[in-house]
Structure 1
Amino acid sequence: MKKITIKYTAILTLFLAGLFACKDLTQLNVNPNGVQPETVNPNLVLPTVLSETAKLYTNLGFQDVAGVVQHTQKDAWFGGHNDYDWGGDQSWTAYYDLLRNNDLVYQRSVALNMEFQQGVALVMKSMLFGLITDLWGDAPYTNALKGELGGLDDIAPKYDSQDVIYAGILADLDKASTLLSKPKSGYTSIVESADLYYAGDPTKWLKLANSLKLRYLMRISTKQPDVAKAGIEKIVASPAQYPIIDDASADATMAFPGNNAGDSWPSNAVYDISGSNYRRIKMCSTLLKAMQPTNDPRLAIWAKKVEIPLKVDATLPAGTDKITSGVRYISPDKVGTTPIDQDPNYVGLPPSISQLPSGYNFNPTPGQTSVNPHVSYLNEIYKEAKGALLKARLVSAAEVNFILAEAAQKGWAAGDAKTRYENGVKASLNAWGLASSYNAFIAQKGVAYDGTQAQILTQKWISSWTSATEAWFDYRRTGLPALQAGPTAKRKVLPLRFYYMRDELNLNKTNSGTAIEKLEITANSQADGKNSAWSKQWLVQGTGKPW
């Protein structure tokens, strides 16, 4: 038996020796079931970058940021959404993960001379780094995405200041604009199915690049007005060279396939069988009160009417509380001094109303089950996994037109402010399938252009439904709309930024510490210290905004 074992050991040794003679260690280290980064086709990685970026953007604008700007409120598991109780662990890891994948798309596209993919990758780089600095402030930028090099400055990169990051974003968008300026026939290796936004249409990507540039130019307009003015006027002056997203057909959107929990609308009740993600979200009274007086047609698309309206009737006998013909009638003694909303159609949950928001408006069954027949839920479409209107909406014609309306209202050469404003309203209605409602809507008092920045920013805030991050950044820059924090919010004013996460504070202590020291502490951030959601970034320091 021992001889047999020795024999087979010798045979195995000879086999392995022959194998190693034919293949070096580099060859053996190749995963036969995967694709090496050095050889990957950019079209294989691009769908991940696009889909995951769109999902991140939707989760921001439909979840906690929608609570900040008072589009929605939650009546269970509500602390982060309603009250800004975010703690200190808001991670940017997912953003940098996507940036690494996107950098792979770019580097491989350069190596393969694939200009379309290079341009797309620069647009996505700009969007992701823009979100990072918008949300947190100073951040790793110049030295980011180099961890595999192994140096200390690569593993723990320095933070660039916001002005440097915005300047880099604008430069990358200029470069992308040049790369994307040819007709589709001028490119090779475009795979339409890999482009989840525009199906390989370089003209629409060119519009997106220039529209993003407008977004960031307006972002820095208070701190660097000369740069913003010159940049916006340059784009407007040459529409053939710098086309923009000026109608809803070119909106940067991504539909949700709805095949599983990971690629479905986030509040769907198809894969969340309990339906709790949908039930917890209610319309916020701030948004409803802005839309109801003008009979805004978008309201019926976004919200449900209350299931059971309330009616306080002084003619009823004391102690009356009954439902008749679908209406709940209550005698005044039962209500007492409790605030109550008797609107027969739409009732919103006020921002940060209480520590028991599920009890609002005389709900007879408050609690974590989030069933309240007296407050408006979102429309039933938001229970679906997919649908014609269930899209990630990254940049829209409405946003672009409102940016130009604001620029024109400042006196910049950006077109006629009234026309730009009206085009913004029209584009928003078109995006929600309401083109036929435009003429009647725009003629109403409160919607008809009145020449004020407040009106432009209010309509822009409304149009950012499900994409509320831009509304938050506009509020931070201008203080408009004049949103007020509710009585149980963590602070008496709205927050301005995300906290740097604990892992970053521990693993990149020196550089994160330097960035924190550059934040401006305010009366509202003293309880947290400088790394606070109420400390001011460079972008708003010295502006007196938003509070």
Structure 2
Amino acid sequence: MKSLKIISALLLVTLVLSACKKGFVALNTDPNGTPNALPQQLLAPALVNTVSTNMLRNRNFNNELMQVTVDPGDGEGKVFRYDLRRTWADNTWNNWYTQLTNFKDIYTVASQPLTYDKTYMGISLICQSWVYSLLTDTYGDIPYAESNMGKEGNFAPKFDQQKDVYMDIFKKLETADTLLIGARNVNGGSDPVYNGNALKWRQFGNSLYLRLLLRLSGKAEISAACIAKIKEIVDTNPAAYPLMTGNADAAILRWTGVGALTSPFIGGVREQDWRSVGIAEFFINNLNRWADPRLITGRLSIATYQGGYAGIPSGYAPGRGIDNRSYFLSTTSATTLMNEPLMGNIMNYSELQFILAEAASKGWIAGDAQSYYNNGVLSGITLWVPAFTSPIETYLASADITFSNTASLDQKMELIHQQKYYALFATDFEQWFEYRRTGHPILPKGSGLVNNGIMPACLNYPVYVQSSNPEHYKAAVAVQGPDDISTQVWWQKP
């Protein structure tokens, strides 16, 4: 009898727990939702989070390396002195791979029979290519073919060599271009960059293709193929590879200040932090000398110093005691860089024109290098100052930066990349990548630089990767070289 009571009690408890579990599941299931997020639900958050990561790291890392700003002081870990802590590696690595999961999920869901959508598939491949290029250009060899496979139980992916990563990125961009031929537009609310316009995504994808082909163009083993492809895109078969045609086609996530489209600088960077970081002499002196409209009109939101503009020398020796001078303004009561819509730049038309100017200068395409250069300068200015209407030739002559087709190639590269440097303002690590590729623009080097005064060539791998994925980490280092900021990535080596 006692045993029967115990059994009955256990059965009662089991029934009660089962009922509770069923109720819990019902209570925590959205009756209007779907177990798998749809592409239109994933795209905007993935774009916002990626661009937010890029903006924050552009501000405190790229800008310090590339003499846009100087965070003055004599403490250790000052990026403007090339003194990089290993912890710089973690933020971009973690966030970029996190968003790759979302971009890949967009493709996975969009490619299913019931949800088949070529536009989202193409957009996904372009976004994957963009983020993977950021990863490999920052770190070198990276997890690629086996990355983002945690759902499949792979938490220790192998690293792919940079050449293989790039070759597959190019395949992705080719596939995206094909998918987007005549593709329908998608839900504008799902796309904060192009409002769902499939053609504009296709133009961006092919413009990105040119950016990345140019990045490999100096690598001996792949140079000829890259140059041939550049010529095919621009000259031989342009109808198959539509490119951006003006500022209206620029890939920019514009911050409206509404909901999720609020700049990450608001709340992510304190106002006093803006004031404590000065503008570098290199950045401000050129704009001053050229009487650049972006500076003169105040669109770049730079504070004056003693009635004018003045910067801090980058790389100055510790102990010199430099005081802050001009700095980026930091108020939300007016349009400053804290809430500037254009700070969400991914790739703009001005950059594309300078890519074409370089290719034409080197004889790879048939266009006129001077025309591309002039268009690049003009579109770079009018993106920020639409009211600028002066003839670009007049501005260039007054600033003494007129392009000449008879100049030496090195002189042409300095002019092109000095202007491209400003076109790349606020664009993730692109200034750093291009400087590592070309050595232009020529940056002054202060006596306080460490790392033997050599621009860092990559970021270290995150420390936790060494312990969580030791086998593949060691294999990657054995191929690429020491896990050190001076180790050049594959495309930097001759």
CA contact (8 A) 1:105 1:121 kept: yes
Residues 121-520 of structure 1: matches in 2 within 5 Å? 121-150=124-153, 154-184=154-184, 190-223=186-219, 224-237=222-235, 238-258=237-257, 264-268=262-266, 271=267, 275-300=271-296, 301-307=299-305, 309=306, 345-355=308-318, 359-360=321-322, 363=323, 372=324, 375-379=325-329, 383=336, 385-387=338-340, 389-434=341-386, 435-439=388-392, 440-451=394-405, 452-467=412-427, 469-491=429-451, 492-520=453-481
Judging changes above 3 Å, is the alpha-carbon distance between structure 1 residues 254 and 34 closer, same or farther for their aligned structure 2 residues? Answer: farther
Listed as ranges, the gaps of 5+ residues in structure 2 are 406-411
From the CA coordinates, give the structure whose radius of gyration is larger: 1
- Whether 2:118 is the aligned partner of 1:115: answer yes
For residue 39 of structure 1, the aligned residue among 27, 36, 39 is 36
Q: Which stretch shows the higher mean deviation, 440-449 or 277-286?
A: 440-449
AA aligned opposite 2:203: K
| Number of positions where the alignment pairs a residue of Structure 1 with one of Structure 2 | 468
Distance 2:472 2:270 in 1: 44
Rounded Cα–Cα distance in structure 2 between residues aligned with 1:273 and 1:501? 24
After superposition, what is the alpha-carbon deviation per residue over 1:326-350, rounded to whole angstroms, capped at 9, x for unaligned? xxxxxxxxxxxxxxxxxx5111111
Q: Deviations over 1:410-438 (max 9, x none)?
A: 10125111111111111111110243245
Please give the secondary structure, in 2, of the residue aligned with 1:394: strand
Residues 95-119 of structure 1: CA distance to partner in whole angstroms, max 9, x if unpaired? Answer: 1111111111110000121111111
Given that 1:484 and 1:494 are in contact with CA atoms closer than 8 Å, whether structure 2 keeps it comes out as no
- Shift of the alpha carbon at 1:282? 1.6
Q: Secondary structure at the match of 1:178?
A: helix
Q: Which amino acid aligns with 2:42?
A: V
The question of whether the paired residues in 2 share the 8 Å contact of 1:139 and 1:159 is answered with: yes
Relative to its length, the structure with more helix (as a share) is 2
- Could you give the per-residue CA deviations for residues 264-308 of structure 1, whole angstroms, max 9, x where no partner exists? 44555xx4796222112221101122222222222233253533x
CA contact (8 A) 1:210 1:242 kept: yes
Cα separation, 2, equivalents of 1:243 and 1:514:
40
Residue 206 (structure 1) shift: 0.5
- How far is 1:166 from its partner? 0.7
- Residue matched to 2:491: 539
Segment of structure 1 superposing worse, 378-387 or 467-476: 378-387
Contact 1:404-1:414 within 8 A present in 2 as well:
no
**TM-superposed deviation, 1:447:** 2.1
Instruction: State the shift of 1:35 in Å.
Output: 9.3
Query: Deviation at 1:182?
Result: 1.0
The C-alpha deviation readout for 1:421-471, integer Å capped at 9, x for no partner, is 111111111110243245332333532112412111111012211126222
* Displacement after TM superposition at 1:480 (Å): 0.8
1:51 pairs, out of 48, 52, 63, with 48
Structure 1, unmatched stretches of 5+, are: 310-343, 364-371, 521-529, 543-547
Instruction: State the superposition RMSD in angstroms.
Output: 3.0
Q: Do 2:65 and 2:432's aligned partners in 1 also have CA atoms closer than 8 Å?
A: yes
Shift of residue 5, structure 1, vs aligned partner: 12
Shift in CA distance, 34/460, structure 1 to aligned 2, threshold 3 Å: farther
**1:30 CA drift (Å):** 10
> Is the 8 Å Cα contact of residues 265 and 382 (structure 1) preserved in structure 2?
no
1:130 partner amino acid = S
User: Measured at CA, do residues 134 and 486 of structure 1 come closer, stay the same or move farther in structure 2, by a change above 3 Å?
Assistant: same
Name the % identity. Answer: 27
TM superposition score normalised by structure 1: 0.78
Counterparts in 2 of 1:218 and 1:232: CA distance versus 1, 3 Å: same
- Normalised by the length of structure 2, the TM-score is 0.86
Distance 1:272 1:402, change over 3 A: closer
CA distance, structure 2, for counterparts of residue 288 and residue 10 of structure 1:
78
Change (3 A) 1:246 1:162: same
**Match of 1:107, as an amino acid?**
T
The counterpart of 2:61, out of the listed 40, 45, 64, is 64
1:305-330 deviation digits (Å, cap 9, x = unpaired):
533x3xxxxxxxxxxxxxxxxxxxxx
